[in-house]
Amino acid sequence: MNESSDNHLIHPPRSTSKSTSKSTSKYSPDYHSPSHPPSHSPSHLPGHVFYMEGTGFTGKKTALFSSQDVSYICGYAEGKKLMIYHELSQLERTLPIFQIDTKLSKVRMGNYEKHDNAPRMVYLSRYIEQKVLPFVDKQLMPYLEGYYNVELHDSYSYLDTDHKKYANCLVWSKKKNDDHPILMPDIYHLFNFGDRLINHKDISSWEGGKNDKNDKIGFWGSTTGNRNPEKNDRINKCIWFHRQDSKHEISDCFITRIAQMTYPEILAARPQFPDIYTKPVTFEDQFRYKFLLDIPGNTCSWDRIPIVMNSNSLLFRFPCDDVCAFHSLFEENEHFVPVTEEDVFEKREYYLANPEKALAIITNAQAFSREFFNGDAAQRYMVGLFTGAAERRKEDEENKNKNKNKNKNPSHPLPPTQNL
**Phi, psi at 145, each rounded to 5°:** -60, 125
Which domains are present in the chain? Answer: 10-185+375-395 (no CATH), 196-324+327-372 (3.40.50.2000)
Chain segment 256-314, per-residue pLDDT in tens: 999 999 999 999 999 999 999 999 999 999 999 999 999 999 999 999 999 999 999 99
**What's the pLDDT tens digit per position in 153-172?**
999 987 767 789 999 999 99
Q: Whole-angstrom Cα distance, residue 248 to residue 354?
A: 23
Task: Tell me what pLDDT residue 66 has.
Answer: 55
pLDDT(205) > 80: yes
pLDDT of residue 209: 63
Among 181, 59, 69, 62, residue whose Cα is nearest residue 126: 59
The β-bridge relationship of strands 322-323 and 169-171 is unpaired
Q: Helix (H, G, I), strand (E, B), or coil: what is residue 411?
A: coil
pLDDT (average), residues 251-255? 98
Residue 419 has pLDDT above 80, yes or no: no
By the 8 A CB rule, do 56 and 375 touch?
Answer: yes
List C-alpha distances in Å: 185 to 152, 191, 199, 261, 398. 12, 10, 21, 27, 30
Rg of the chain (C-alpha set)? 23
Write down the pLDDT at residue 208. Answer: 67
As a whole-number percent, the residues of the chain with pLDDT over 90 amount to: 74
At residue 281, the pLDDT reads: 95
The pLDDT confidence band at residue 210, using thresholds 50, 70 and 90, is low
Determine the pLDDT at residue 158. Answer: 79
pLDDT at 340 > cutoff 80 = yes
Average confidence score pLDDT of the chain: 83
Encode pLDDT of 10-67 as tens digits.
Answer: 443 333 333 333 333 332 333 222 222 222 222 322 222 222 333 333 333 334 455 5
What is the tens place of the pLDDT at every residue in 353-391? 999 999 999 999 999 999 999 999 999 999 999 999 999
* pLDDT tens digit sequence for 77-89: 999 999 999 999 9
Residues 6+ positions from 83 with CB-CB distance below 8 Å: 168, 392, 393
Per-residue pLDDT band for 123 (boundaries 50, 70, 90) equals: very high
